Amino acid sequence: MSSKDTNSLHWILGAALLLIGLFVVVSLVGVNSQADSVNTQTNITNHSPTVEDVFVNDAQWVFSPGFGGGSITVVPGGQRDVWINGNVRDQNGRGDILAVKGQFYKTTAGDTCTPDSNDCYAESSCSTQNDTEGDLEVLEYSCLMSLDYWTDSTSTGGASPSTDWTVKVEVVDNAMTTGSDSSVTKEIETTLALTIPTTINFGTLTKGQSTTSANNQHQVIGQNANDEGDVEVSSAADMTCTNTGTIPVANQEWSLTDVDHSDPAGTDLSGSAADTNLGVAYKTTGDVSETLYWNIELPASNISGTCTGTTTVTAIAS
């Protein structure tokens, strides 16, 4: 082989080796600069929610103590709206709060009590709204408790003077963990109120006639609040008749039993207030009332027309 051919072969082999080297370098660069997708994750610890504060008020969304900071008085014959207001917090964000529940119960009844107008009120789902100051961990809540007029009093003269009422608020998150507060207590005042009919009508009678258990008048006096009650009765003047004559105060009699005017169980009406000891009890189930029976005896002469008078019937505590 000639020297010229040998040199050409060397150039060809050198060029081939250079191309192979460049290919290896390019391949390595390609491998080292490849981009991969990486999955990133972490688990957030669940924090139990907490009740920040509890306020008892007579209005919704008011975050301060109501009722003058004192006890609650029932409304005779009606309902007293009591609002339990405050804030709840969840460090996982307010969106993690599932529900807020409220209870108002006589302390001796406990938080497992069955709802009852005497001693146990519960709101299974209170109203909530975002915190008005913009805290993303906080919800404001408001729970309505409508107290009936016979709700047990825990003050002097009431059904349960040796205890009080407890307010409990519970917050639940989506993981069903809870937080609660039962540190606030209140007193329910004793309120005396009776329903007393305002008319006693003996109807048409003849001179000298006395009523009996068959035609006397029944005055049904009912419980209208949360205090045991009696009534006092009196009359300051005789009944006067439109044509002629009067009927003396003492000719009317009251009794706790259904008897005739002549029965010794009756008591003559007088100008001095007399305690009847009627005893209208605390209300628990159904209406509670007692009856006062009224009889009258008409004079035998010098009387005619329509006779009217005023009898004062005053509610007093038993």
Which tens digit of pLDDT belongs to each residue from 74-89?
999 999 999 999 999 9
Q: Which amino acid is at 136?
A: L
Q: What is the mean pLDDT of the chain?
A: 91
Q: In which band, very low, low, confident or very high, does the pLDDT at 94 lie, cut at 50, 70 and 90?
A: very high
Same fold, 50-186 and 194-317: yes
Q: Which amino acid is at 77?
A: G
Structure tokens at 31: 């491998």
Whether the Cβ atoms of residue 271 and residue 233 lie closer than 8 Å to each other: no
Model confidence at 33: pLDDT above 70: no
What was the pLDDT predicted at 7?
Answer: 54
pTM: predicted TM-score of the whole model, two decimal places:
0.83
Q: 3 vs 199, which has greater pLDDT?
A: 199
Q: In which band, very low, low, confident or very high, does the pLDDT at 154 lie, cut at 50, 70 and 90?
A: very high
Q: In which band, very low, low, confident or very high, does the pLDDT at 5 lie, cut at 50, 70 and 90?
A: low
Query: What's the DSSP call for residue 280?
Result: B
- Mean pLDDT value across residues 277-290: 96
C-alpha span between 306 and 291 (Å, rounded): 26
pLDDT tens for 105-147 read 999 999 999 999 999 999 989 999 999 999 999 999 999 999 9
What was the pLDDT predicted at 18?
Answer: 47
Q: In which band, very low, low, confident or very high, does the pLDDT at 23 lie, cut at 50, 70 and 90?
A: very low
* CATH number for the segment(s) 50-186: 2.60.40
Q: In which band, very low, low, confident or very high, does the pLDDT at 22 lie, cut at 50, 70 and 90?
A: very low
Whether the Cβ atoms of residue 265 and residue 292 lie closer than 8 Å to each other: no
Q: What is the largest CA-CA distance in the chain?
A: 176
Q: 274 vs 10, which has greater pLDDT?
A: 274
Domain ranges of the chain: 50-186, 194-317
pLDDT tens for 234-259 read 999 999 999 999 999 999 999 999 99
Query: What's the DSSP call for residue 68?
Result: G
CATH topology (fold) of 194-317: Immunoglobulin-like (2.60.40)
